[in-house]
C-alpha cells in the first residue's frame, strides 16, 4: 500500500502539510459507466469539507 497519498484539495478535512492526505483509508469511485481510463473519470469519496 502507498505510504504517502498526495492531495492538493486544501478545502478537505484530511488535507495535511506538504499536500499529504491524512485519512486512515481512501475510497475512490469510477464515474465512467464502462471502463475508467482517465483520472477525470474518478471521484474521491473520502473528501470531507473542513467547514
- Listed residue (16, 27, 20, 28) closest to 3, CA to CA: 20
What pLDDT digit, counting tens, does each position of 1-48 carry?
Answer: 778 999 999 999 999 999 999 999 999 999 988 889 999 999 999 999
pTM for this one?
A: 0.81
- Listed residue (16, 19, 17) closest to 8, CA to CA: 19
pLDDT of residue 3: 84
Amino acid at each position: 500500500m502507498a505510504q504517502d497519498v498526495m492531495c492538493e484539495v486544501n478545502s478537505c478535512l484530511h488535507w495535511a502539510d506538504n499536500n499529504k492526505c491524512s485519512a486512515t483509508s481512501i475510497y475512490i469511485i469510477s464515474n465512467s459507466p464502462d471502463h475508467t481510463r482517465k483520472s477525470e473519470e474518478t471521484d474521491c469519496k473520502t473528501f470531507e469539507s473542513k467547514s
